């Protein structure tokens, strides 16, 4: 089980460049992936997206990719040779056009700052691409480790709450026969008070009341609620994506709890149902954090 919230950072470098990748995620119903990287590396966005999508299934995920140049590099990677040649050619044209006798010198070329801006698109495949994905792998590893650690905490909390709901449901199930008898007696007494002045056959009266009181029998709802709890526990230990499935099961559990509550006037049952619904709501909050 993994939490949808997480953070990871990875750094990779060579003699010329340093790439840092940060991953941040918060809860979201689906996977909402946002990738930010230097415009010169925009062609790397799709491969980055595909790798992140293969590891993260849900959440609002932000990926930040930063590139730094190493000013100590002596390899010439920071010299844009294309710009050097272009500027040199332009200076030659000016020299010939104006009939200048002075040759083009190095200090002339150094006046053009763009010659020290590397052509990232040209060197990206050879040097920067491997750094991006090495840093991204490190960031993903840290992100997943953090989300799994948080997932273990969520698992422990959910497990405890499910056990509490199960215990309360068994207690309600034990009270179900008493609830049925209580409802029968209550209806019987009310009807007798209403028709005390009329002469009706008691056996027929009891039969009609029994039919009515049977409608407040909560046995089936307790069985279904326990069945949902069992399914929830199985899902909890599943290796698949479980967040959406668990949320659906909780909806069914809440529906059964509401039905039980509507069928009883026993305070012992009503108080337990209140606790069950409180735990279900807390479980819903936790499930929203699960990938």
Q: What is the pTM of this model?
A: 0.65
Q: What secondary structure does DSSP assign to 92-157, as a single string?
A: HHHHHHHT--SPP-HHHHHT-GGGGS--HHHHIIIIIHHHHHHHHHHHHHHHHHHHHHHHHHHHHH
Res 131: pLDDT: 92
What are 146-189's pLDDT values in tens digits? 999 998 999 999 999 999 999 999 999 888 877 767 766 676 67
Provide the H-helix boundaries in 195-264. 202-214, 219-236, 243-262
CB 132 within 8 A of CB 65: yes
Give the integer Cα–Cα distance in Å for 86 and 115. Answer: 9
What are 71-121's pLDDT values in tens digits? 665 555 556 677 778 878 888 888 777 878 778 777 777 777 666 665 556
- Give the tokens for residue 220: 């089936």
Residues 6+ apart with CB under 8 A from 173: 219, 222, 223, 226
Q: Tell which CATH classification among 3.10.450, 3.30.70, 3.30.230, 1.10.3210 matches the domain 6-73+120-148.
A: 3.30.230
According to DSSP, the β-strands at 59-69 and 31-36 are parallel
What are 20-44's pLDDT values in tens digits? 999 999 988 888 999 999 887 888 8
Give the integer Cα–Cα distance in Å for 164 and 275. Answer: 9
DSSP 3-state of 85: helix
User: Taking the CA atoms of the chain, what radius of gyration do you get in angstroms?
Assistant: 36
Mean pLDDT across the chain: 83
Fill in the DSSP letter of residue 128: I
- Percent of the residues in the chain that have a pLDDT greater than 90, as a whole number: 42
Q: Would you list the domain boundaries of the chain?
A: 6-73+120-148, 81-116, 151-287
Give the integer Cα–Cα distance in Å for 284 and 291. Answer: 13
CA triple 75-77-83, angle to 5 deg: 130
């Amino acid at each position: 089980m993994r939490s949808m919230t997480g953070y990871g950072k990875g750094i990779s470098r060579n003699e010329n460049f340093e790439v840092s990748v940060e991953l941040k995620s918060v809860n979201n119903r689906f996977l909402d992936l946002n990738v930010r990287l230097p415009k010169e590396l925009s062609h790397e966005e799709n491969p980055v997206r595909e790798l992140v999508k293969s590891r993260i299934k849900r959440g609002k995920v932000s990926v930040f990719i930063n590139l730094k140049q190493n000013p100590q590099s002596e390899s010439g990677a920071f010299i844009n040779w294309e710009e050097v040649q272009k500027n040199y050619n332009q200076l030659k044209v000016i020299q010939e056009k104006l009939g200048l006798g002075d040759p083009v010198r190095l200090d002339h070329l150094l006046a053009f700052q763009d010659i020290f801006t590397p052509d990232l698109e040209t060197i990206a495949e050879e040097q920067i691409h491997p750094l991006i994905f090495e840093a991204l792998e490190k960031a993903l590893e840290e992100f997943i480790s953090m989300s799994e650690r948080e997932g273990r905490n969520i698992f422990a909390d959910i497990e405890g709450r499910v056990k509490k709901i199960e215990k309360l449901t068994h207690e309600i199930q034990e009270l179900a026969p008493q609830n049925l008898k209580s409802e029968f007696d209550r209806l019987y007494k009310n009807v007798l008070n209403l028709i005390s002045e009329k002469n009706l056959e008691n056996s027929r009266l009891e039969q009609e009341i029994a039919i009515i009181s049977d409608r407040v029998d909560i046995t089936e709802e307790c069985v279904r609620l326990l069945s949902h709890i069992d399914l929830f526990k199985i899902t909890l230990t599943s290796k698949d994506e479980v967040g959406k499935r668990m949320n659906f099961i909780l909806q069914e559990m809440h529906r059964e709890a509401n039905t039980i509550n509507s069928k009883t006037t026993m305070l012992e049952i009503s108080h337990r149902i209140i606790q069950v619904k409180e735990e279900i709501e807390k479980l819903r909050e936790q499930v929203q954090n699960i990938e």
